[in-house]
Amino acid sequence: MELLISTKMTARKHGGFTLIELLLVMTLLGIFVAAALPGYQDLAPEAGIAATQANLHTLRSAVTLYGGKTGGFPANLDSLVSKGFLREVPKEMMTNSNRTSVDPSGNPDFKGGWVYFSITGDVKVNINRKGFEDLISGSSANPYEDW
């Protein structure tokens, strides 16, 4: 009889977790996630700004490379893709748009995407602060058209 009891105890030690133990761990993980989530939600606008700045740098570098190899600026940003300087025109991540405007001065409203000046080879973000201020809610970032 004593041998039978020790076998049962040994089997219990190696059997795994009980349902109560698993529920307790799941509850604790849920509490930790719920406590950490609000801190990460506030970072989404700043992440979009940082990604847009990185993509803007990529575009400007590709335009400069194109100018150095061909002796002139591309007619549009799609030329960078067709000539192999980029795989695709990167997105402006604040509005998730990769469209390109040629002359932003005619419409100062929030449009999204990029502005490309083929004469100077300059690329800018096609967003004004007024159009994006609800997402950045008082951020001290520079106006996007000045980047």
- Asked if 53 and 64 sit in the same domain, the reply is yes
The pTM of the full predicted model, rounded to 2 decimals, is 0.64
- Asked if 140 and 71 sit in the same domain, the reply is yes
- Asked if 52 and 95 sit in the same domain, the reply is yes
The number of distinct structural domains making up the chain is: 2
- Asked if 49 and 119 sit in the same domain, the reply is yes
Outline where DSSP puts E strands in 14-103.
100-101
| Residue 28, helix vs strand vs coil | helix
| Residue 4, helix vs strand vs coil | helix
Mean pLDDT by groups of 10 residues along the chain of 147 residues: 54 75 94 83 78 91 93 91 93 83 56 82 76 50 59
- Asked if 55 and 86 sit in the same domain, the reply is yes
- Asked if 95 and 139 sit in the same domain, the reply is yes
- Asked if 63 and 100 sit in the same domain, the reply is yes
- Asked if 48 and 111 sit in the same domain, the reply is yes
- Asked if 21 and 82 sit in the same domain, the reply is no
What gap in Å lies between CA 42 and CA 64, rounded to an integer? 35
- Asked if 61 and 73 sit in the same domain, the reply is yes
What is the model's pLDDT at position 116? 85
Q: Which of 105, 101, 106 has its CA nearest to residue 118? A: 101
- Asked if 50 and 90 sit in the same domain, the reply is yes
What is the model's pLDDT at position 140? 44
Domain ranges, residue 31: 2-41
- Asked if 66 and 119 sit in the same domain, the reply is yes
Q: How far is CA 92 from the centre of its chain?
A: 9
Tell me 92's DSSP state.
Answer: B
- Strand pairing class (114-117; 100-101): parallel
